A and B are shown apart, each in its own frame.
Chain A
Amino acid sequence: MTEPNSSPAFARVKAWGLGLLILVVVANSLFPYLWILISSVKPTNIMYATPTVWFFTPIADHYLSAFGDKGFGGNFVNSMVVSVSTTALAIVVGTPAAYSFARFRIVASDHIFLFILSTRMAPVISLAIPFYLIFASYGLLNTYLGLILAHLTFNLSFYIWILRGFFKEIPVELEETAMIDGYTRWQAFTRITLPLARSGIVAASIFCFIFSWNEFLFALILGGGDVKTLPVVIPSLINQRGVEWGEIAAIASVVILPILILVFLVQKHIVRGLTMGAVKG
């Protein structure tokens, strides 16, 4: 099976060409991050200098100030708590729901499904005040639970969307066979289907985590001193001392690491997870 115009030379040129393209794509994402890293150790008084000051002695001040004096490490913890919890809840509550949609004939299922999607459609800004008022009357302001619930609105719909498609692609016969063999519905679900759905769950939950981790508006309005997440502290670094870009960069470079590590580790699951193609036997 040879292609008409292949030759070792052509193949090599093609390989180099593709390699170059890949490098360009990676560089496009890498260089800004490198620049952020560099900014995080660059003194503020030369930060905006033109001509650009290329060589300088790195300083740890921005990191020390952000995570030491200002205690943004605490905000990191808050972000973690909220994001992990909302993701966990989305998984626990959303997986059975997605399964139902995929498997069962539900009255007006398409309409309910559209409704679930539509909870994402309203501009978040307009919802913020109703949320605030409702939360205020239930004492949910400045609590982890409140913020987690608020994040669930967009995470749950996304999660169910993705996972339903995935469940639909797992053949029903597998479960039927299991039940003929004596498994109950629930056992068939947990022992057969769920493991196969593992990749989809991992993939969808990573995205939920990312959305929650970076979310700004609800965290600002519904949170408070106790549950201030990391994105919310960033605007406070633009103040009467100028734009404290060094510290913003320090925070940004640290904040992104957990997600990058996570993505690196579970990459093969994500790749397999979001597919709508067939499962390989």
Chain B
Amino acid sequence: MARTVTETPRPEPRRRFGARFLRDGYPYFLLSPSLLVLLLVGVYPFVFMIVLSFRKLDFRRFGTAGDFIGLENYRSLFDEPVFFSSLKTTAFIAFTSVPLELVLGFAMAYLFNRNFPLKRLAVTITIIPTVLAPIAIAVMWKILLATPWGFLMYNVFYRLGMFEDVSIFGSPGWALAAIIAIDVWEWTPFMFLVFMAGLGGLPQRPYEAAAVDGASAWQTFWYLTLPLLSPFILVMLFIRLIDAFKIFDTIYVLTKGGPGVATETISIFAYRFNFEYWKLGESSALAVVIFLLFFAVFGFLFTQLQKRYRIF
């Protein structure tokens, strides 16, 4: 492996390569186990669910999908006022916490992108929130912030004169803020680790060249680091956003969607309809609607970015 190596991440040779192997079907052979698994466990249940969404289900009575009733389930889903509010709430939570996680995680990674003693230990400790079980995190924050005996509440907030008459998880606004804050606490280390990797793998030469040219720290960051990392940032943003829309554990333990429906997200709503009411028709319709929304938004972004920048 004595060859010199190109520096820019441009996969031009792809076409040449592809022509050589296309006839062999080799790629499909490599790909097929994955596709098979994903088809079985990813698609099959999903298609099943789509079918369910069009059927009149009296699952409790008959245990099978009933008659085809077209869009009836969708109509009754849209009749539920909580459906729309849950979409709004989920979007609010996701689009507030994820950018925060992104910025904070990146800042932390930038901060850590130097040598200092015990760095390995520091990094390991820093990612603890992401590695703790979400269910344990939910209970932990409940015990920290409960009114009036929460550990943090009593020892920090009350001393500072804050939240004296306020119950965090019992007030709509504060509960939402708390959920967002907990999500940020939990997932920023994920972004941190990911960006650490990203920064750590940046090529040296452009930076040396920039230093020779007398670029300031800010210019280096803005014109060099950011562009080099942007594909990476976008990928992580995608992944994290998709996951953020599914937030469930913390809300279920702390507020169960309350007070009222202030913290009721799509997943809590789906949980109710699925496991409490057994209205599988509406719940499936909900899943299909969400999926279509996602697919429309993210799919569109994905194809646009792919077309223009070949990022993925």
Contact = CB atoms under 8 A, between A and B. Distances in A.
Interface of A: 1, 18-19, 21-22, 25-26, 28-30, 32-33, 35-36, 39, 48-52, 89, 93-94, 96-97, 99-106, 110, 112-114, 116-131, 133-134, 149-150, 152-153, 156-158, 160-161, 164-165, 168-169, 171-174, 176-177, 185, 192, 203, 210, 213-214, 216-217, 230-231, 234-235, 238, 243, 245, 248, 251-252, 255-256, 259-260, 263-264, 267, 270-281
Which 9 pairs between the two chains have the least Cβ-Cβ distance?
Answer: A275-B201, A105-B18, A126-B287, A274-B197, A97-B34, A104-B27, A119-B42, A96-B30, A130-B45
A118 B41 CA distance: 13
21 contacts: A21-B111, A22-B112, A52-B155, A96-B33, A119-B42, A125-B267, A125-B275, A127-B45, A127-B49, A130-B45, A130-B48, A134-B48, A157-B38, A171-B5, A174-B1, A203-B197, A216-B134, A248-B136, A274-B232, A275-B197, A275-B232
Interface in B164-179: none
Contacts of B43: 119
Nearest to B282: A126
A152 B111 contact: no
Given A51-B154, A106-B27, A278 B203 contact: yes
A101 B143 CA distance: 47
Contacts of B312: 110, 113, 164-165
Contacts of B7: 278
A156 B232 CA distance: 19
Given A106-B27, A214-B132, A271-B196, 9 more contacts: A26-B122, A29-B127, A52-B154, A105-B17, A110-B312, A171-B6, A213-B133, A216-B135, A278-B5
Interface in B20-44: 21-22, 26-28, 30-31, 33-35, 37-38, 40-44
B239 A161 contact: yes
B197 A271 contact: yes
Contact of A165 (B34, B35, B235): B235
B151 interface: yes
B223 interface: no
B139 A248 contact: yes
A96 B31 contact: yes
Contacts of B49: 122, 126-127, 130
Interface in B258-312: 266-267, 270-271, 274-275, 280, 283-284, 286-287, 290-291, 294-295, 298-299, 302-303, 306, 312
B142 to A, nearest CB: 8
B231 interface: yes
Contacts of A29: 125-129, 189
A256 B127 CA distance: 11
Interface of B: 1, 3-9, 11, 13-15, 17-19, 21-22, 26-28, 30-31, 33-35, 37-38, 40-46, 48-49, 52, 108, 111-112, 114, 116, 120-136, 139-140, 142-144, 148-149, 151, 154-155, 185, 189, 193-194, 196-198, 200-204, 211-212, 228-229, 231-232, 235, 238-239, 242-243, 245-246, 248-249, 253, 266-267, 270-271, 274-275, 280, 283-284, 286-287, 290-291, 294-295, 298-299, 302-303, 306, 312
B298 A121 contact: yes
Contacts of B154: 50-52
A255 B136 CA distance: 10
Given A1-B212, A171-B6, A274 B198 contact: yes
A267 B200 CA distance: 12
Given A22-B116, A97-B34, A118-B295, A275 B198 contact: yes
B303 A110 contact: yes
Most buried by B among A35, A48, A161, A263: A263
Contacts of A48: 143, 149
Nearest to A259: B131
A119 B38 contact: yes
B38 A214 contact: no
Given A171-B6, A275-B201, A25 B30 contact: no
Contacts of B303: 110, 114
Given A36-B140, A127-B46, A103 B3 contact: no
Contacts of B3: 171, 173-174, 177, 281
A122 B189 contact: no
A134 B51 CA distance: 14
A272 B38 CA distance: 28
Contacts of B17: 103-105, 172, 176
A16 to B, nearest CB: 12
A114 B299 contact: yes
A252 B35 CA distance: 35
